[in-house]
Chain A
Amino acid sequence: MTEYNIKELKSGGLMKQKEKDIFSLRLRIVGGFVKSEQLIKLSEIANKFGEGYIHLTTRQGIEIPNVNIKDFETVKKELAGVELQMGACGQRVRTVTACQGKECSHGLIDCLLLAKEVDKKYFGIGGHPHKFKIGITGCPNACIKPQENDLGIMGRLKKRFVKENCNYCGLCAEICPVGAIEVDRDSEKILFDADKCIGCGDCVYSCPTDAWRKRQEGYAIFVGGKMGKFPKLGVKVFDFIETKERVFEIIDKTLEFYKKFGNKGERFRETLDRVGVEKYKNKVS
């Protein structure tokens, strides 16, 4: 392997296997969304250049194992034919994960659209102390596990109450996962504790009389999640960001902060623990 710089190859999604000249090809997949024509092409490539199978990663990505380096350029061209590119390894912004978002009945935000936008802007960007992972989940059910990412985005909802519509059936109080709503049927009163509310929207989507209505969608932001040898869950630093523009500003400032304050080889959580979450919050606020 003298003719190839392994580190350079790795940054572009080529992962050396134990066997000489054999690589696993990591692809750039956004939010686990793959078109059927791409799957057909992947099947062809795996049959022709690999060993007839692909590997699904924990971050919704696809890898094609057992490809000889001599076939790499050909495979890359074939992939490009169905708008597929090589993925990212090393100290870079990695695959952006996302749930089905609006296709799920619980989803509050369009995760695929946001994931594509985040991927377009940040995918593969390097120069940070270590890798940086971003995950986007559509609601507080957190299926994509935003708390396991260096930066996690979660869809949330703010609601409003239309008193005239309420018949005080108590269904919202029954289903609220955090007990933020109390209904007094006899005196026809609703008590809502905004501090307890996690913005899942269950009350809005279940209310029989549309007394609870959506006011606005927004985003909660988690930072400092990581897995690996020393796993830590991310901490929520912003409860409700109202606009996508502000979300992008937070990502920009977070990456700047990581570059500025992170020590070499340090994951973002370690930087946060060392420098302090409050200082981080001040810098990005």
Chain B
Amino acid sequence: MTDYNDSLDLTGIACPNNFVRTKLKLEEMEPGQILEVILDDGEPIRNVPRAVKEDGHEILKAEKIDNKWKILIKKA
């Protein structure tokens, strides 16, 4: 499950811009495709996965690497 169709590095991008950029990227993608998102810990990891879930997408994986999080999102 480490394959993905597209990737977004949102390191240093504050809320809510990180979610907006995730949302826009997902809109460009096809249902079922997978987006990798890199988020900072703190507020971004607190807000983005939750908002992605609320929009109906599936989070396949969340993995902490040092002080960042790698999230795999399957577009609904």
User: Whole-angstrom distance between the alpha carbons of A167 and B72 in the complex?
Assistant: 14
Within 8 A of B (CB), among A167-193: 167, 169-171, 174-175
Interface 1/0 per residue, A207-229 and B, CB below 8 Å: 01100000000000000000000
Contact A206 B63 (CB under 8 A): no
User: Whole-angstrom distance between the alpha carbons of A209 and B62 in the complex?
Assistant: 10
Contact A105 B63 (CB under 8 A): no
User: Whole-angstrom distance between the alpha carbons of A167 and B53 in the complex?
Assistant: 17
Residues of A contacting B61 in the complex (Cβ-Cβ under 8 angstroms):
167, 169, 208
Residue count of chain A within 8 Å CB distance of chain B: 12
Given contacts A171-B45, A208-B49, A209-B59, 5 further A-B contacts (CB under 8 A): A169-B61, A169-B64, A170-B62, A171-B64, A174-B41
Residues of A contacting B62 in the complex (Cβ-Cβ under 8 angstroms):
169-171, 208
Contact B41 A205 (CB under 8 A): no
Residues of A contacting B60 in the complex (Cβ-Cβ under 8 angstroms):
208
With contact pairs A169-B63, A170-B64 given, residues A175 and B45 touching in the complex (Cβ less than 8 Å): yes
A/B interface sample: 11 pairs, CB < 8 A: A105-B50, A169-B62, A169-B64, A174-B41, A174-B45, A175-B45, A202-B50, A205-B50, A205-B53, A208-B53, A208-B61
User: Whole-angstrom distance between the alpha carbons of A123 and B35 in the complex?
Assistant: 51
Residue count of chain B within 8 Å CB distance of chain A: 16
User: Whole-angstrom distance between the alpha carbons of A176 and B63 in the complex?
Assistant: 16
Nearest CB in chain B: distance from A106 CB, A: 9
Residue of A nearest to B58 (CB): A208
Contact A171 B54 (CB under 8 A): no
Contact B53 A174 (CB under 8 A): no
Residue from the set A105, A205, A208 with the largest chain B CB neighbour count within 10 Å: A208
User: Whole-angstrom distance between the alpha carbons of A202 and B64 in the complex?
Assistant: 18
Contact A174 B64 (CB under 8 A): yes
User: Whole-angstrom distance between the alpha carbons of A105 and B49 in the complex?
Assistant: 12
Residues of A contacting B25 in the complex (Cβ-Cβ under 8 angstroms):
none
Residues of B contacting A208 in the complex (Cβ-Cβ under 8 angstroms):
49, 53, 59-62, 71
Residues of B contacting A202 in the complex (Cβ-Cβ under 8 angstroms):
46, 50
Contact A206 B53 (CB under 8 A): yes
User: Whole-angstrom distance between the alpha carbons of A184 and B16 in the complex?
Assistant: 30
Query: B41, B50, B64: which contacts A206 (Cβ < 8 A)?
Result: B50
Query: A167, A170, A175, A209: which contacts B46 (Cβ < 8 A)?
Result: A175
Nearest CB in chain B: distance from A177 CB, A: 8
Residue of B nearest to A177 (CB): B46
